[in-house]
Amino acid sequence: MVSIPAIRSKQLFIGGQWVDPLSGKSFATVNPATEETIAELASGDAHDIDRAVTAARKAFEGPWSKMAASERSKLLWKIADLLEKKIDEFALLETLDAGKPISESKAVDMAECLSVLRFYAGLPQTISGSTLPSQGPAFVYTLREPLGVVGAITPWNFPLLLSIWKIAPALAAGNTVVHKPASLTPLTALKFAEICQEAGLPEGVLNVVTGPGSTAGQALVTHPGVDKIAFTGETSTGKSIARDAAETLKKLSLELGGKSPNIVFADADLDAAARGAVNGIFYNAGEVCCAGSRLLVEESVHDALLEKIQGRLKKFTVGDPLDPKTRMGPLISKDHLEKVEGYVRSGTQEGAKLVCGGARPGLPKGWFFTPTMFSGVAPTMKIAREEIFGPVLAAIPFKDGPDAVAKGNDTIYGLSAAVWTRDVKKAHQVARALRAGTVWVNTYNMFDATAPFGGYKQSGFGRELGREALDLYTQLKTVWVDLS
Ligand code: NAD
């Protein structure tokens, strides 16, 4: 029996205070590996969002706007230090809430949270405008200013990491934030608010309102006091947010779904490509926006590659996410498990061949599913077109480079892609031809705080990470001075 780290789960964090939700209502967050309730959470609604936005506006116009950029750097660095000190507690909470293997929660999610916080801690003093060589007797310059109040709405698959992707650049640029975490995984967002308070972040600069997307989330999107919404989630939710945000013409960045092609040419290192295919789709149980869910394989090596993948899957452990040897934990919820099972049924019904997996592993509790691979998948099948967001790989053969690119781009999405080949020229040609925000060459799932990430097509717009993300949290003001 593990002991759950102490957390102020029943309250909202608004204006630097832990407060009860006005409705007095609560909801449970459940451990997907055991199906047991971990904690009861405050169910925030439109009234709580209004309180949080008011607090964020007050902080933006008050102490936060007067604070020197160097002080913002120090605070972000201090928050990172506190997170590092409590990294085990954070990793444990993330694993209990999201079901991800403990080794990954710590070495990947939390480690990346630290590097993203520290990357943006280094940037506040570099945010500047420029002087312009205008014609005529005038001095013209630009100021790069924060937007104001940012609403951050985040999903359940990388709960804290994707929150930090938004909160760190937003604060670095001098904005204040109201965060609405995913209802299925809100614990680390609340714990993060605790360390921000401990670090001395002025009250109202970060506010956290837990609650349903349809009430708290939508209220944040429609609130006239919010200047920007930074959203990560499903493409369908992104569309509804874009419609709701139109009324107040909020700035938006949308990180949405994907159906990424992982393209393996016959001249690739097939062992490395098999490793990359397994990592690409089964990492985090396939609950990854950039999952390499379509494995496009050159015909001549199709069978050999699939055999190598199957060999790797024999050693792939599915089970208790608290066991350091586990490679894949449960899916996030019963509903989601059933949705994934529905896709597996549709694959079989549409005539694809189930090579392995396709069933629950028979564990007594938890929403586990086995790593699943289909071959003989036609690009028209549902499993080749829709985002499954689970451990289901669809292998599709291709003839040559142009066929691979055409099939790779045959999707409404454009989040990421990968190409495996030893031919340098081909690698660069295919990388250019693919319509995706990120292309990996001979690797998969690599991220860095410095490298922008985001979607083409219906995978969204705007970029997170990198210096580029600061552009989404700032706006330019042009100042003219008459010198005549
Ligand atoms: P989701 O769209 O169901 O929910 C995301 C967040 O939006 C949650 O906090 C939810 O409560 C809130 N929400 C729901 N309806 C809302 C509304 N009408 N108004 C405002 N907020 C609302 O997504 P999810 O199921 O939590 O996450 C999985 C999805 O996220 C997948 O489609 C995945 O591809 C995508 N994703 C994308 C990226 C990326 O960087 N592109 C990263 C991770 C996940």
Answer yes or no: do 251 and 269 share one domain: no
For 71-105, what is each residue's pLDDT tens digit? 999 999 999 999 999 999 999 999 999 999 999 99
CA distance 409 to 197: 46
- Cβ of 188 below 6 Å from ligand 1: no
CA distance 373 to 392: 6
- CATH number of the CATH domain containing 375: 3.40.309.10
Closest ligand 1 atom to residue 235 Cα is 32
Residue 20: Cβ within 10 Å count:
12
Q: Quick check: is 5 in a domain?
A: no
Return mean pLDDT, the chain. Answer: 97
What is the spatial order of strands in the sheet that 353-356 belongs to? Answer: 353-356, 372-375, 392-398, 294-298, 261-264, 416-420, 438-441
The question of whether 255 is a catalytic residue gets the answer: yes
For residue 80, the one-letter residue type is A
Answer yes or no: do 88 and 225 share one domain: yes
Phi, psi of 6 (to 5 degrees): -60, 140
- Cβ of 151 below 6 Å from ligand 1: no
Q: In 3-state terms, what secondary structure has residue 420?
A: strand
Number of domains in the chain: 2
Answer yes or no: do 322 and 223 share one domain: no
DSSP letter assigned to residue 318: B
Q: Quick check: is 4 in a domain?
A: no
Q: What is the mean pLDDT of residues 313-323?
A: 96
Q: Which of 36, 40, 37 is nearest to 9 (CA)?
A: 40
Q: Which one is predicted more confidently, 2 or 171?
A: 171
Closest ligand 1 atom to residue 183 Cα is 11
Answer yes or no: do 219 and 119 share one domain: yes
For 437-476, what is each residue's pLDDT tens digit? 999 999 999 999 999 999 999 999 999 999 999 999 999 9
Give the predicted TM-score (pTM) of the model.
0.98
34 exposure class (CB count in 10 Å sphere: 0-12, 13-18, 19+):
middle
- Give the E-state strand segments of 250-345 in sequence order: 251-255, 261-264, 294-298
pLDDT cut 70: percent of the chain above it: 100
- CATH number of the CATH domain containing 239: 3.40.605.10
The residue whose CA is least distant from atom 35 of ligand 1 is 233
Confidence bin at 6 (pLDDT 50/70/90)? confident
Q: Which domain holds residue 313?
A: 261-448
DSSP secondary structure letters along 69-117: HHHHHHHHHHHHHHHHHTHHHHHHHHHHHH---HHHIIIIIIHHHHHHH
Q: What is the mean pLDDT of residues 9-32?
A: 96
Confidence bin at 7 (pLDDT 50/70/90)? confident
Q: Which of 99, 226, 84 is nearest to 164 (CA)?
A: 84
- What is the model's pLDDT at position 160? 98
For 281-303, what is each residue's pLDDT tens digit? 999 999 999 999 999 999 999 99
- Cβ of 204 below 6 Å from ligand 1: no
- Cβ of 256 below 6 Å from ligand 1: yes
Q: What is the CA(143)–ligand 1 centre distance, in A?
A: 33
Q: Quick check: is 286 in a domain?
A: yes
CA distance 253 to 85: 31
Closest ligand 1 atom to residue 182 Cα is 9
Selected catalytic residue, list 289, 341, 387, 464: 289
The residue whose CA is least distant from atom 21 of ligand 1 is 217
Which helix (H) or strand (E) element contains residue 178? strand 176-180
- Cβ of 255 below 6 Å from ligand 1: yes
Q: Quick check: is 464 in a domain?
A: yes
Q: Quick check: is 1 in a domain?
A: no
Long-range contacts of 377-383 (CB under 8 A, 24+ apart): 377/294, 377/347, 377/352, 378/350, 378/351, 378/352, 379/407, 379/410, 381/346, 381/347, 381/350, 381/351, 381/352, 382/343, 382/346, 382/347, 382/350, 383/343, 383/344, 383/346, 383/347, 383/350, 383/352
Answer yes or no: do 157 and 275 share one domain: no
- Opening angle at CA 155, ends 80 and 360, nearest 5: 115
For 99-153, what is each residue's pLDDT tens digit? 999 999 999 999 999 999 999 999 999 999 999 999 999 999 999 999 999 999 9
Chain centroid offset of residue 38 CA: 23
Handedness of CA 291, 155, 218, 195 (dihedral sign): negative
- Cβ of 153 below 6 Å from ligand 1: yes
Answer yes or no: do 199 and 220 share one domain: yes
65 exposure class (CB count in 10 Å sphere: 0-12, 13-18, 19+):
middle
Q: Quick check: is 2 in a domain?
A: no
Q: What is the CA(188)–ligand 1 centre distance, in A?
A: 17
